[in-house]
A and B are shown apart, each in its own frame.
Chain A
Amino acid sequence: MAITESGVLFPTLRDQWDASQIGVDLISDTIKVALFSDSITPNFGTDTAYAVAPYDANEVSGGSWSAGGVTLSGNAITTESVSGTPSWVFDATDVSNGATITDAMGILVYDDTNSPKHGICLIDLVTVVTVDGTLEIQWTAPGSGGILNQAYS
């Protein structure tokens, strides 16, 4: 029971390509980031969506950071050279939101427009605590990989 690495939820990636055609649109859909504690056990090969196990419990929220998380803005997909490897990169404006958060350990990026709310990726954190303060998430620059990237190798 722990978040030990970041990763892409592969069922979502698969279903974008196969007959399911789930239609995750990172630009036009409402893409949210939600916080989870270290009590979840991610399985990138089988996890599918927000509000579906393991993302149906152990969400962390408080203050102005509501359950369900915060909506990303400025979403963009670009082609970049990440560490010298051609990649497509998903990036968005940095998140800055009031929060009283206890022991968040991971960020789930998911599509709030779809039903189910397809999970896109989970980002591993160190333990995060805020008290009546501001939680700011500064994504890496697109050339460094943004929020999510897929590399051709």
Chain B
Amino acid sequence: MIREETFIKCPANPRAHKTGPLKGLVLASDHGECKKHGVVSKAKAGRLADLMKVTQKGTHFELEHPSGQRDAILRPAPASAKMRIIHGNH
């Protein structure tokens, strides 16, 4: 039996809170993957009272441990510059 405390909640999926512990949750002790928001490092996986906070559609994760330790995983969008080349008439 899979126990709820082996998962880290993924609050970016609001449905998870409404429909129960298994949907939209991150299996920390096994594959460490949230199907909705992507892979979460197993090294960052926590247990029981650990809390995974997810904001901005999965680009920013914070993991708070019972000890008070707090980790963060960031997935920032790249900086971009555009080069526009004007083609003349030939």
Residue positions of A touching B, CB distance < 8 A: 6-8, 10, 13, 82, 89, 99, 101, 107, 109, 121-126, 128-140, 144-153
Find out whether the CB atom of B78 lies under 8 angstroms from the CB atom of A130.
no
Assuming the A-B contacts A130-B70, A148-B80, are A140 and B60 also in contact, with contact meaning beta carbons closer than 8 angstroms in the complex?
no
Count, A-B residue pairs, CB within 8 A: 109
Q: Are A6 and B82 in contact (CB under 8 A)?
A: no
Min CB distance B26 to A, Å, is 15
Contact present for A138 and B56 (CB under 8 Å): no
A152 & B83 in contact (Cβ 8 Å cutoff):
yes
The chain B residues found within 8 Å of chain A, CB to CB, are: 41, 43-44, 55-56, 59-60, 62-63, 65, 68-85
Interface pair A136/B78, CB less than 8 Å apart: no
Most B-side CB within 10 Å, residue of A99, A107, A126, A128 = A126
A130 to B55: give the CA distance in the assembly, Å: 15
Partner of B41, one of A126, A136, A146, A153: A136
Choice from B43, B65, B72, B80 contacting A129 with Cβ under 8 Å = B72
Contacts A6-B79, A149-B78 known; 12 new A-B pairs at CB < 8 A = A122-B79, A125-B76, A128-B60, A131-B68, A133-B71, A136-B72, A148-B79, A148-B81, A149-B81, A150-B81, A152-B85, A153-B82
User: Which residues of B have CB within 8 Å of A126?
Assistant: 55-56, 59-60
